[in-house]
């Protein structure tokens, strides 16, 4: 006869096991849902962190762009940009630290951003003052330019006036000098043959024209100083060329600023009494047939003229 345990004990053990299993399932379910909630909270925290970092980077980039613009503006206005460049360098350091993302305090960056923004506002005032100074400076430069232009105009007017006066003085001096110049009239040319015989004719034979004798009268002129005067004689042949021989007393003199050849010259002791003057000129070669002109010059002026013919 077998000994079987009582049925009531067996049922109790099963019930106890069932209760324990049910409890474990509940605990497991609780732990699962609690872990899921923790994961969801962590995802939300990371997402919020990423968004904060992104917003901070955008703000720093915006401040960097504004700093660049202000540096350029201050340089354009001629101001000192050393402080701006120093702040820009610090900003780049902060941007680099933010990119690394190690132990970043967003609150700390928010504080720095406010400082940068306040600095930008301060520099806006600086730029406004520089703009006013530049406007004032430009106005002063314009005024100075106008005054300088006025001075140049006045200087030019004075220069023109001086030039006019000098020109008038020169013209007056020339007139006075011309008025005081010698004046020769009754200029005549006579032929002198080899025997010294003097002859006056309308035209002289070339073979008998060994020398010419020039006779003229110097008019009385109270403006002319009584002193020795040098008279230059130019003999022009039928073609208009000057009869000259440098070995026979010819040379050059100046008339109206131009160097001119003369045939011969003489010194006359001017006495302001209508004196007659004579000059004998010998040419080494025969005269060509045609009409010849005699011109007399003294002190840079033409004082008389005459002519003769050769046949």
Evaluate whether residue 1 is within a structural domain. no
State the DSSP H helix or E strand holding residue 278, giving kind and residue range, or none if neither: strand 276-282
Count the domains in the chain: 2
Q: What is the pLDDT of residue 104?
A: 64
- Whether residues 162 and 202 share a domain: the answer is no
Evaluate whether residue 302 is within a structural domain. yes
Q: Token pair for residue 164?
A: 């006019």
- CA-based end-to-end distance of the chain: 202
Evaluate whether residue 236 is within a structural domain. yes
Evaluate whether residue 304 is within a structural domain. yes
Evaluate whether residue 300 is within a structural domain. yes
**227 in helix, strand or coil?**
coil
- Whether residues 109 and 201 share a domain: the answer is no
- Whether residues 117 and 247 share a domain: the answer is no
Taking only the tens place, the pLDDT of each residue in 40-62 is 555 555 666 667 777 888 888 88
Q: What is the pLDDT of residue 275?
A: 93
Q: Which residues touch 301 (CB under 8 Å, ≥6 apart)? A: 177, 178, 181, 182, 255
Q: Token pair for residue 306?
A: 């005459």
Rounded distance, CA 196 to CA 206, Å?
15
In terms of phi and psi (left: phi > 0; alpha: psi -120 to 50; beta: otherwise), the region of 72 is alpha
Evaluate whether residue 8 is within a structural domain. no
- Whether residues 95 and 170 share a domain: the answer is yes
User: Residues in the chain with pLDDT < 70?
Assistant: 1-13, 22-50, 101-104, 165-179
Q: What is the CATH number of the domain that holds 191?
A: 2.60.40.1930
Q: What is the pLDDT of residue 172?
A: 46
- Whether residues 163 and 85 share a domain: the answer is yes
- Whether residues 24 and 168 share a domain: the answer is yes
Q: How many residues does the chain have?
A: 311
Rounded distance, CA 289 to CA 299, Å?
32
Q: What is the pLDDT of residue 170?
A: 63
Q: What is the pLDDT of residue 96?
A: 82
43, with CB counted inside 10 A (0-12, 13-18, 19+), is exposed
Domain stops at, among 137, 152, 180 = 180
Taking only the tens place, the pLDDT of each residue in 146-196 is 888 888 888 888 788 777 766 665 654 555 566 678 999 999 999 998 888
3-state helix, strand, coil split of the chain in percent (to 5) is 55, 25, 25
Q: What is the pLDDT of residue 234?
A: 97
Q: What is the pLDDT of residue 167?
A: 67
Residue 101 gets which letter from DSSP? Answer: T
- Whether residues 164 and 205 share a domain: the answer is no
C-alpha 223: how far from chain center: 53
- Whether residues 21 and 154 share a domain: the answer is yes
Domain stops at, among 180, 203, 225 = 180
Domain interval for residue 63: 15-180
To the nearest 10 degrees (0 to 180), the angle between helices 106-179 and 82-100 is 150
Domain stops at, among 157, 180, 203 = 180
Evaluate whether residue 25 is within a structural domain. yes
pTM given for the model:
0.47
Residue given tokens 């409890």 in the structure block? 23
Q: Which residues touch 291 (CB under 8 Å, ≥6 apart)? A: 238, 307, 308, 309
- Whether residues 154 and 195 share a domain: the answer is no
H runs (alpha helix) in 180-301: none
Rounded distance, CA 150 to CA 144, Å?
10
- Whether residues 174 and 201 share a domain: the answer is no
Q: Token pair for residue 187?
A: 């200029």
- Whether residues 84 and 168 share a domain: the answer is yes
Rounded distance, CA 72 to CA 81, Å?
9
Evaluate whether residue 190 is within a structural domain. yes
Residue given tokens 């005459």 in the structure block? 306
- Whether residues 222 and 248 share a domain: the answer is yes
């Amino acid at each position: 006869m077998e000994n079987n345990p009582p049925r009531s004990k067996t049922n109790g053990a099963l019930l106890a096991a069932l209760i324990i299993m049910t409890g474990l399932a509940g605990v497991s379910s609780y732990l699962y849902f609690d872990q899921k909630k923790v994961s969801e909270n962590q995802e939300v925290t990371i997402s919020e962190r990423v968004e904060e970092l992104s917003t901070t980077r955008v703000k720093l980039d915006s401040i960097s762009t504004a700093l660049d613009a202000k540096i350029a503006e201050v340089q354009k206005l001629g101001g000192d940009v050393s402080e701006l460049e120093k702040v820009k360098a610090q900003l780049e350091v902060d941007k680099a630290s933010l990119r690394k993302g190690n132990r970043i305090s967003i609150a700390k960056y928010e504080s720095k951003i406010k400082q940068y923004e306040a600095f930008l506002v301060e520099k806006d005032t600086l730029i406004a003052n520089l703009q006013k100074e530049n406007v004032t400076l430009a106005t002063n430069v314009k005024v100075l330019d106008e005054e300088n232009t006025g001075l140049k105009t006045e200087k030019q007017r004075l220069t023109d006036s001086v030039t006019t006066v000098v020109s008038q003085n020169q013209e007056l001096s020339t007139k006075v000098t011309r008025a005081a110049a010698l004046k020769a009239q009754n200029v005549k040319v006579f032929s002198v043959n080899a025997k010294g015989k003097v002859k006056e004719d309308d035209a002289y034979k070339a073979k008998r024209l060994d020398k010419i004798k020039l006779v003229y009268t110097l008019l009385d002129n109270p403006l002319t100083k009584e002193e020795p005067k040098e008279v230059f004689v130019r003999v022009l042949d039928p073609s208009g060329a000057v009869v000259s021989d440098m070995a026979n007393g010819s040379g050059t003199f100046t008339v109206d600023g131009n160097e001119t050849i003369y045939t011969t010259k003489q010194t006359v002791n001017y006495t302001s009494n209508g004196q007659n003057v004579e000059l004998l000129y010998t040419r080494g070669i025969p005269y060509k047939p045609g009409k010849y002109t005699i011109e007399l010059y003294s002190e840079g002026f033409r004082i008389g003229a005459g002519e003769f013919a050769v046949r």
